[in-house]
């Protein structure tokens, strides 16, 4: 079942697609639903995507298609013919749609340090994020340089408590310190691997490790 706001957004997207074949921008959706920030729109879109009502078309920031509509919107809950966004010249693609996600502080890509310490916000291009809830952490250290993750980068993290073998994750150790590493299992232990030959893998009892998210993207500042 969809919330009233989710239904309102789904109807707005469907109407805009039917009218012009182009999905609305985050700013247009924010104004239509009378929300204060684009982050609220991002959460609604992620919820609709997770429930299978809409789908994002790859490599295009504003390209959405409606996959199905619920009974509550006056139609049978069956697949509808997707209306794809018309091809847009590269210079007109709204890749600058931006949302704000929480910036929780610094995370070690070396020796674990405390994470989730701050409550600031970071503006992020919507095209960098997929479905789900996200937050950002500033990277401290050099143990992930061979994975292209440098000191001072902003790691964009999708919240999850489950990790697959080989994913780069935020791992909370002993509910006190967090680190950014490759997640692996070795026998009965959890192994957190760096991406720097100067560092050694870290081994933990599974009860010591709590997954707080997986790497979804990266933003780098150039001074």
Higher pLDDT, 113 or 19: 19
Mean pLDDT of 139-148: 91
Instruction: Please tell me the predicted confidence (pLDDT) of residue 73.
Output: 60
pLDDT of residue 87 exceeding 50: no
pLDDT of residue 85 exceeding 50: no
Catalytic residues: 143, 181
Nearest to 141 by CA among 171, 112, 119: 112
pTM of the model: 0.57
Q: Which of 26, 60, 86 corresponds to the end of one domain?
A: 86
Domain harbouring 65, CATH code: 1.10.10.10
Residues 115, 75 share a domain: no
pLDDT, tens digit, for every residue of 21-34? Answer: 777 877 788 888 88
Residues 134, 191 share a domain: yes
Domain span at 28: 4-86
Q: Residue 128 falls within a domain, yes or no?
A: yes
Instruction: Please tell me the predicted confidence (pLDDT) of residue 47.
Output: 84
With a CB cutoff of 8 Å and minimum separation 6, the contacts of 220 are: 150, 152, 153, 154
Instruction: Please tell me the predicted confidence (pLDDT) of residue 44.
Output: 86
Residues 115, 49 share a domain: no
Instruction: Please tell me the predicted confidence (pLDDT) of residue 117.
Output: 53
Residues 33, 140 share a domain: no
Which pair of structure tokens corresponds to residue 216? 């979804």
55-61: long-range contacts, CB 8 A cutoff, minimum separation 24: 55/82, 56/130, 57/84, 57/85, 60/85, 60/88, 60/93, 60/127, 61/93, 61/94, 61/95, 61/96, 61/97, 61/125, 61/126, 61/127
Q: Please answer whether residues 40 and 26 qualify as being in contact, where contact means their C-beta atoms are separated by less than 8 angstroms.
A: no
Q: Left if phi > 0, otherwise alpha if psi is -120 to 50, otherwise beta: which for 148?
A: left
Mean pLDDT rounded to a whole number for the chain: 79
Instruction: Please tell me the predicted confidence (pLDDT) of residue 183.
Output: 96
């Amino acid at each position: 079942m969809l919330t009233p706001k989710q239904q309102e957004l789904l109807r707005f997207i469907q109407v805009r697609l039917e009218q012009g074949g182009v999905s609305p921008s985050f700013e247009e959706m924010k104004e239509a639903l009378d929300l204060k920030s684009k982050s609220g729109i991002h959460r609604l879109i992620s919820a609709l995507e997770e429930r299978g009502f809409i789908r994002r078309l790859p490599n295009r920031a504003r390209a959405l298609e409606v996959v199905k509509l619920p009974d509550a919107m006056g139609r049978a809950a069956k697949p509808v013919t997707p209306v794809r966004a018309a091809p847009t010249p590269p210079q007109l693609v709204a890749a600058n749609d931006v949302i704000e996600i929480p910036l929780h502080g610094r995370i070690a890509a070396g020796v674990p340090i405390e994470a989730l310490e701050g409550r600031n916000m970071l503006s992020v291009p919507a095209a960098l994020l997929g479905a789900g809830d996200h937050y950002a952490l500033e990277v401290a250290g050099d143990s992930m340089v061979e994975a292209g993750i440098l000191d001072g980068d902003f790691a964009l993290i999708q919240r999850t408590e489950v990790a697959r073998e080989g994913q780069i994750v935020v791992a909370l150790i002993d509910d006190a310190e967090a680190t950014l590493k490759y997640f692996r299992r070795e026998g009965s232990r959890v192994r957190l691997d760096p991406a720097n030959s100067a560092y050694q893998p870290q081994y933990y009892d599974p009860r010591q490790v709590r997954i707080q998210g997986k790497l979804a993207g990266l933003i780098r500042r150039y001074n």
